[in-house]
Amino acid sequence: MLNVTDIPAAEHPHSFPELTITRCCFSPAQSPFFTYGICYLDVVTIDSAHLVASVVQKSGHRTLRVALVADHQDRNQLHELLHGKVVEAALPHEWLQSTYLSVDLPPGTDPATLREALKAPAQAGALHWEIDS
């Protein structure tokens, strides 16, 4: 996570003029794999245990998460297919161990092409997916 207070407000590319960012607010610097309810560039607070306590400002981004079934016979082919679709769509993304995919869906992004690519493999039990906002 990025501590947005470490960057002068005038230089912060994703500043929210209606907010006063304090030392307790952070913004994820990537699309989260396993954290629900927050997305890339949301502004969040943390508690004393350094866990997300609340969302102060939603960025409008959404996160597409895909988990390939590790022992599925088509996992490698699905990885290549999905990687190609995400690159073709020019969407920021990240893979974890070639099994988990996190895709940032900026405001206004229509994920219909990706949804269509996920439908048949999901029905075949080869992957699980969701979109979080």
Kindly list the domain boundaries of the chain, sorted by start residue.
Answer: 2-57, 62-132
Fold exhibited by the domain 62-132: Alpha-Beta Plaits (3.30.70)
Query: Residues 74, 76, 78, 81: what is their CA dihedral angle, to the nearest 10 degrees?
Result: -140
Main-chain phi, psi angles of 4, to 5 degrees: -65, -15
Give the residue with greater pLDDT, 131 vs 53: 131
48 vs 99, more confident: 99
Q: What is the model's pLDDT at position 24?
A: 67
Helix axis angle, 75-88 to 112-123, nearest 10°: 170
This prediction has a pTM of 0.76
Question: 58-92 pLDDT, tens per residue?
Answer: 999 999 999 999 999 999 999 999 999 999 999 99
Distance between CA 73 and CA 88 in Å, rounded?
25
pLDDT, residue 70, reads: 92
